[in-house]
């Protein structure tokens, strides 16, 4: 009806046509390309080598009295052809670096040109805790050229019993929340103040399908849902408010306060959702001031897909700045939906960037919902800029990480992913519900490409297959945090194959950690993305990761005579192993492989 009214002239043209990611999408709307300035501006390619010198605080916050987290900075001297200052010398030559705080030298060191991730501890014995950040100046010089970069250091007073979450950037490229590895699978719905209640659940432990079936019962109250989350072993919850806040129709916050108290008692962390009120800074101030000291608080979820509908470009940044001034102890987060629409503006000031790339069971050139074509300048398919395969997810993460590098935010912006794990009842863009294994593929792919957390969007009608696989994979990733978080800087791609016909292929990545006695262990995670026949499989070994199989975490893996793994992977499947290697005495190792957890039916190839 609306497009008929528009065509008849009853609605003003400037106000009638909706936009998503800067593009019209409705039947009859004009094909007007997004503004050129909405696209990310990549720098031009230099004809000579450039040195991109960066200085970053190793942790987002330091707490007074915390002897386990000494203040330090991470230095990078990357050689590029697009960012930095001209530098005629070559890799391997040295730079003298001086690090200053308030004009006083607190550290000095020598780093090689081209080196990355050099940690330097700071002498800050007399530093006084405060809520405002200190500015650290790093000055590098060599062969008559000087490079400078500044970093912020937050040295905070004790939180006096409330929770705080620290972003530790050492040694991995992106910083991460050291309090936990939030590789959880989330069950999203709405916070309600009356009528049929529901809430958002996130799981990290392997649950029982019967429990999940109960979780979809919309007759439960918010408190009953919270109790269910605890019984299922969930460690995080995100209740989505129906309005600008969680207050009830009378403006009372007693319900959400009781909810947070109970979450704290149960040991469940809460993502505080501000999606419907973040543009009202007075509302943001009131909510942050009221709840910032609650021990259940995990982070401030500022906005959900602000890059989709027309949203003021500075709205996220303004909210993030205000939140940081009121509560520097907790991180901020935003999820973006568009591939490339004002990316810099909507990520400014936030700590965690989530990507929701919903490309499964999608027609990338036709909108089922709007009955319109989808082109680079028109239409909404449900996955902006997607082609409809698993590479949509990896390319999105790779592109966003590259943008962070260009802007000097590689170590300041954490990437999480929101895998597609919902049933929209055929009302939106997708023509079927994703399978549990398709969700598992998305999750492992995301970690293989640098994600530091995942939280799957699970609608109230999500299938047990989706919930079962999400929980199973999340539990295993949680137990491997020493690799995924502690050894994040060692992540490397062992294989990323894109078949010539553009179909799905293989993706394998590895993380390595050193142990006492000259032992090293390597986590290898593999993904087979192809939709092969039910009786077919793809067999392959791995190069670039040494050692014998110590553990088979999940998936179908055979162990060859030399102890190395042979992945035997069926249709859209995942697998992971831990390898162990000791250079001088491999024979003395206990390398008896074991399966750490039975593979559920939905996970079998």
pLDDT for the residue numbered 470: 72
Predicted confidence band of residue 90 (pLDDT cuts 50, 70, 90): low
Does the 177-479 domain belong in CATH 3.40.50.300?
no
Give the C-alpha separation, 291 to 288, whole Å: 5
Kindly tell me if the per-residue pLDDT of 534 is higher than 80. Answer: yes
Least confident stretch, 230-239, 483-492, 536-545: 230-239
Kindly tell me if the per-residue pLDDT of 209 is higher than 80. Answer: no
pLDDT for the residue numbered 332: 97
pLDDT for the residue numbered 322: 98
Q: What is the CATH number of domain 50-158?
A: 2.60.40.1930
pLDDT for the residue numbered 577: 97
Looking at per-residue confidence, does 544 or 373 come out higher? 373
For residues 57 and 151, the answer to whether their CB atoms sit within 8 Å is yes
For residues 581 and 550, the answer to whether their CB atoms sit within 8 Å is no
Domain boundaries, the chain: 50-158, 177-479, 490-603
Give the C-alpha separation, 333 to 301, whole Å: 5
- Quote the tokens at residue 456: 């799957």
Give the C-alpha separation, 445 to 440, whole Å: 8
Give the C-alpha separation, 462 to 212, whole Å: 9
User: Residues 115-138: what's their mean pLDDT?
Assistant: 91
pLDDT for the residue numbered 185: 37
pLDDT for the residue numbered 483: 95
C-alpha dihedral, 548 to 565 to 419 to 262, nearest 10°: -40
pLDDT for the residue numbered 457: 72
Predicted confidence band of residue 198 (pLDDT cuts 50, 70, 90): very low
Mean per-residue pLDDT over the chain, rounded: 83
Kindly tell me if the per-residue pLDDT of 390 is higher than 80. Answer: yes
pLDDT for the residue numbered 200: 36
Give the C-alpha separation, 320 to 311, whole Å: 15
**The CATH number fitting domain 490-603, selected from 2.60.40, 1.20.1080, 1.20.120, 2.30.110:** 2.60.40
pLDDT for the residue numbered 142: 86
Matching fold, domains 50-158 and 490-603:
yes
User: Residues 571-580: what's their mean pLDDT?
Assistant: 96
Give the C-alpha separation, 565 to 557, whole Å: 6
Question: In this predicted model, what pLDDT tens digit does every residue of 37-81 receive, in sequence order?
Answer: 999 999 999 999 999 999 999 888 888 888 788 889 999 999 999
Predicted confidence band of residue 555 (pLDDT cuts 50, 70, 90): very high
């Amino acid at each position: 009806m609306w497009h008929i009214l528009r065509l008849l002239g009853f609605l003003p043209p400037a106000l009638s046509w909706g936009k998503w990611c800067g593009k019209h999408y409705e039947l009859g709307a004009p094909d007007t390309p997004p503004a050129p300035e909405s696209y990310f501006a990549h720098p031009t390619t230099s004809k000579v080598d450039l040195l991109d010198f960066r200085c970053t605080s190793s942790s987002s916050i330091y707490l007074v009295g915390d002897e386990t987290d000494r203040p330090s900075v991470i230095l990078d001297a990357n050689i590029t052809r697009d960012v930095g200052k001209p530098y005629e010398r070559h890799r391997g030559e040295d730079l003298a670096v001086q690090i200053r705080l308030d004009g006083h030298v607190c550290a000095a060191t020598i780093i090689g040109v081209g080196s990355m991730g050099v940690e330097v501890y700071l002498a800050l014995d007399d530093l006084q805790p405060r809520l405002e950040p200190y500015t650290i100046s790093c000055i590098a010089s060599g062969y008559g050229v000087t490079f400078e970069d500044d970093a912020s250091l937050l040295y905070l007073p004790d939180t006096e019993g409330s929770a705080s979450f620290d972003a530790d950037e050492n040694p991995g490229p992106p910083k991460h929340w050291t309090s936990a590895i939030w590789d959880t699978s989330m069950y999203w719905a709405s916070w309600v103040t009356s009528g049929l209640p529901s809430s958002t659940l996130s799981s990290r432990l392997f649950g029982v399908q019967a429990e999940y079936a109960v979780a979809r019962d919309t007759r439960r109250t918010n408190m009953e849902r919270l109790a269910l989350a605890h019984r299922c072993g969930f460690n995080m919850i995100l209740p989505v408010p129906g309005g600008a806040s969680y207050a009830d129709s009378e403006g009372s916050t007693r319900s959400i306060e009781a909810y947070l108290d109970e979450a704290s008692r149960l040991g469940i962390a809460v993502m505080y959702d501000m999606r419907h009120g973040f543009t009202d800074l007075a509302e943001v101030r009131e909510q942050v001031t009221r709840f910032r000291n609650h021990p259940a608080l995990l982070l401030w979820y500022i906005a959900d897909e602000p890059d989709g509908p027309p949203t003021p470009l500075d709205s996220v940044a303004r909210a993030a700045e205000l939140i940081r001034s009121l509560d520097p102890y907790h991180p901020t987060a935003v999820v973006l939906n568009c591939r490339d629409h004002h990316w810099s503006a909507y990520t400014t000031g936030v700590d965690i960037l989530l990507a929701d790339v919903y490309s499964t069971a999608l027609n990338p050139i036709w909108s089922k919902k709007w009955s319109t074509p989808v082109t680079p300048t028109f239409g909404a398919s449900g996955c902006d800029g997607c082609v409809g395969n698993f590479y949509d997810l990896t390319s999105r993460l790779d592109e966003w990480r590259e943008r962070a590098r260009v802007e000097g935010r590689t170590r300041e912006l954490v990437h999480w992913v929101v895998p597609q794990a919902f049933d929209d009842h055929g009302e939106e863009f997708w023509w079927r519900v994703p399978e549990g294994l398709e969700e598992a593929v998305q999750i492992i792919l995301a970690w293989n490409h640098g994600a530091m957390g995942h939280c799957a969007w699970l609608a109230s009608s999500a299938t047990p297959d989706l919930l079962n696989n999400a929980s199973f994979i999340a539990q295993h990733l949680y137990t491997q945090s020493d690799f995924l978080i502690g050894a994040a800087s060692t992540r490397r791609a062992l294989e990323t194959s894109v078949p010539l016909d553009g179909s799905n292929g293989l993706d394998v990545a590895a993380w390595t950690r050193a142990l006492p006695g000259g032992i090293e262990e390597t986590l290898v995670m593999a993904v087979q993305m192809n939709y092969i026949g039910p009786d077919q499989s793809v067999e392959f070994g791995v190069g670039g990761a040494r050692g014998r199989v110590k553990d088979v975490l999940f998936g179908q893996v055979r162990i060859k005579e030399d102890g190395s793994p042979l992945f035997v992977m069926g249709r859209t499947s995942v697998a992971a192993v831990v390898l162990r290697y000791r250079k001088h005495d491999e024979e003395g190792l206990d390398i008896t492989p074991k399966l750490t957890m039975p593979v559920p039916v939905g996970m079998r190839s």
